Structure 1
């Protein structure tokens, strides 16, 4: 999938973006993106400390990567689980924030889920990301309680309609 992305308001063009299925060779780059995410600084840092997106995870799930054609570096990625339907991971590189990469990934996820016959995808959101998911049409369905020591805070639970 290719798309031209332009920054809202600022007019800075990000250029064409490809979305492709991740391979085991992407594992290190995806792990770096997760661990370096500015969204997980401060009180949220423990959530990604030591986190690893391994080749086995990529091979077992529907993981898709957004990147610029011919460029090195991942702009973002997501992982869709179909049984039951859930967005397991979604990250956009800090330097790509605000360029529409997240919306592009959600659009791709909707196409992928729709082809699989899914009508809705569960999203357990990082609390600061709830607004983004709501802006792309997800509806809040509840709250997932903290589960110390793994997750120390409550998280919004949403449903992203497909189709």
Structure 2
């Protein structure tokens, strides 16, 4: 099930980000102090995927201006189960509903292939922004049709 996030979801979204296996080692600095706040949820289109027991499987945040997929995470134990694809399909539906023509993605380097597999095009590279981000990141774009 996918539903819109509410303020009470903020803490568990933060926990999912901070415990993500994709951000261990050299990538840990980008999420170590990151926090999803109730205000963030109120300002953006944040949706989460839950299993039938209500367990958080993943979430995304779509920013409308400028159009960007700001956050997208799938729980480590749900990787490879189609949750990410389901969330990205939902995100593109939401983008279409609000009239967006494209959605920018500044990707975590290991996730680039995932986004490209779902139809995103690489359009550039985002330079590091030390001290938190000391590596280049792929910039991609989904065309909303």
TMscore range, shorter length: over 0.9
How far 1:150 moved relative to its partner? 2.6
Which residue does 1:144 correspond to in 2?
126
How many residue pairs get aligned? The number is 145
Which residue does 1:126 correspond to in 2?
108
Q: Deviations over 1:24-69 (max 9, x none)?
A: 0001110000000000011001111021111111111110000013
The one of 8, 17, 38 aligned to 1:34 = 17
Give the whole-Å Cα distance in 2 for the aligned partners of 1:32 and 1:39.
Answer: 14
TM-score (norm 1): 0.87
Which residue does 1:100 correspond to in 2?
82
Q: Which runs of 5+ in 2 are unaligned?
A: none
Give the whole-Å Cα distance in 2 for the aligned partners of 1:59 and 1:119.
Answer: 23
Higher-Rg member (1/2):
1
Q: Any idea what SS the aligned residue of 2:115 has?
A: helix
Give the whole-Å Cα distance in 2 for the aligned partners of 1:117 and 1:27.
Answer: 27
Whether 1:43 and 2:26 are equivalent positions in the alignment is yes
Q: Deviations over 1:85-122 (max 9, x none)?
A: 10000000000000000000000001000011111100
Give the whole-Å Cα distance in 1 for the aligned partners of 2:32 and 2:26.
Answer: 11
Are the counterparts in 2 of residues 27 and 54 from structure 1 also a CA contact under 8 Å?
yes
RMSD of aligned residue pairs (Cα, Å)? 0.7
Which residue does 1:87 correspond to in 2?
69
TM-score (norm 2): 0.98
Q: Any idea what SS the aligned residue of 1:150 has?
A: coil
Whether 1:19 and 2:5 are equivalent positions in the alignment is no
Q: Which runs of 5+ in 1 are unaligned?
A: 1-17
Whether 1:158 and 2:140 are equivalent positions in the alignment is yes
The one of 28, 32, 43 aligned to 1:60 = 43
Whether 1:76 and 2:58 are equivalent positions in the alignment is yes
Deviates more, 1:90-99 or 1:145-154: 145-154
Q: Which runs of 4+ in 1 moved over 6 A?
A: none
